[in-house]
């Protein structure tokens, strides 16, 4: 039954994927050279202004029906606000509707697996571990989107947390050399080829959206939810409002972040040593045990 439902869903997915291209009408080919040139220009223009990649027809229909989509959010257990913020932070070209559709398909697998197990139990058949593999695989598929998003989000936040001291130490050097703070951040962001540099380089677009550069910086810091970045952003905004020097504050914050990273690294190494200690004892203890007890066993064997 599980295989039947899986085959049906795969067939429907392939049909929906190919349907927009099958029913689309091709443009009539012009008989004149100028007509063909105009059609090519129009195709290139549409391709240039095309918004993202093409969506499935089913996804487009769900996005238009927001009432049904809200019900699917509840049925699939999706936290809409949290996932939208995560997708916006990571810049992944995946819509929330696609995640909902993936979870709905996974729920169909779960229901099919549970039905198959129930029928087997009702018929008096013996249910083993192999029979429960489809259910476990379906549960894994159901949890997979959240697991991947959480892992990618934690990794991105860890990258930014590690890059904060390096980035703002460069900013501090430029500020001490006489460069204005905002200009120092922009120059460093353009040359800092890492996630934090790319995020701060995008503040020029955020400046147009939020009205000024300081609000864009504050929104970026709160969006990423990294304590060190948020603290430095708030201090920078306060210093720019008051017109005071930011160099000493940046130096103190950079030193504090470096100290925290050193403490975290030391804590990680201590935990790693504790975890490896049983294996070290086992690997070193067996040869020593043989050296100590070997002669005694050899003597007992000769006496026997």
At 36-60, the pLDDT tens digits run 666 666 666 655 555 555 666 777 7
**What phi and psi values does residue 158 have, to the nearest 5 degrees?**
-65, -40
Closest CA to 161 of 84, 231, 92: 231
Closest CA to 246 of 303, 195, 171, 297: 171
Whether residue 23 has pLDDT greater than 50: no
Rounded to an integer, the average pLDDT of 51-78 is 76
Rg of the chain, C-alpha, whole Å:
30
- At 26, the pLDDT band (50, 70, 90 cuts) reads very low
Which of 89-103, 148-162, 197-211, 289-303 is predicted least confidently?
Answer: 289-303
Burial track 223-238 (b if 16+ CB lie within 10 A, e otherwise): ebebebbbbbbeebbe
Rounded to an integer, the average pLDDT of 229-233 is 86
Where is pLDDT greater, at 18 or 107? Answer: 107
Domain boundaries, the chain: 161-259
Percent of the chain surpassing pLDDT 90? 4
- pLDDT tens, residue by residue, 133-173: 888 888 998 999 999 999 999 999 988 988 888 888 888 88
For residue 280, give Cα distances in angstroms to 151, 270, 284.
Answer: 31, 15, 6
Stated as kind and residue range, the H or E segment containing 208 is helix 203-210
**What phi and psi values does residue 21 have, to the nearest 5 degrees?**
-80, -30
Rounded to an integer, the average pLDDT of 104-131 is 83
Whether residue 121 has pLDDT greater than 50: yes
Percent of the chain surpassing pLDDT 70? 77
- Give pLDDT, residue 44: 63
- Give pLDDT, residue 223: 86
Which one-letter DSSP state was computed for residue 27?
P
């Amino acid at each position: 039954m599980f295989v039947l439902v899986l085959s049906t869903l795969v067939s429907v997915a392939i049909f929906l994927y190919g349907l927009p291209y099958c029913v689309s009408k091709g443009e009539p080919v012009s008989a004149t050279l100028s007509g063909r040139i105009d059609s090519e220009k129009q195709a290139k223009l549409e391709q240039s202004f095309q918004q993202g990649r093409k969506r499935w027809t089913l996804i487009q229909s769900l996005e238009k029906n927001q009432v049904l989509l809200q019900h699917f959010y509840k049925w699939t257990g999706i936290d809409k606000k949290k996932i939208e913020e995560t997708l916006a932070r990571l810049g992944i070209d995946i819509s929330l509707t696609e995640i909902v559709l993936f979870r709905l398909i996974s729920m169909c697998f779960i229901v099919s697996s549970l039905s198959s197990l129930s029928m087997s139990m009702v018929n008096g058949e013996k249910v083993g571990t192999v029979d429960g593999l489809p259910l476990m695989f379906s549960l894994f598929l159901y949890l997979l989107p959240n697991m991947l998003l959480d892992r990618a989000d934690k990794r991105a936040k860890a990258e930014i947390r590690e890059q904060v001291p390096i980035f703002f130490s460069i900013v501090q050097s430029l500020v001490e050399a006489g460069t204005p703070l905002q200009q120092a951040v922009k120059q460093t962001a353009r040359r800092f080829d890492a996630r934090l540099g790319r995020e701060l380089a995008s503040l020029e677009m955020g400046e147009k959206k939020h009205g000024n550069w300081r609000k864009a910086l504050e929104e970026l810091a709160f969006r990423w939810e990294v304590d060190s970045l948020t603290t430095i952003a708030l201090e920078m905004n306060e210093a720019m409002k008051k017109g005071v020097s930011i160099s000493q504050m940046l130096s103190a914050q950079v030193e504090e972040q470096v100290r925290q990273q050193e403490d975290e690294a030391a804590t990680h190494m201590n935990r790693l040593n504790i975890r490896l200690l049983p294996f070290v004892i086992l690997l070193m203890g067996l040869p020593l045990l043989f050296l100590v007890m070997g002669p005694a066993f050899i003597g007992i064997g000769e006496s026997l």
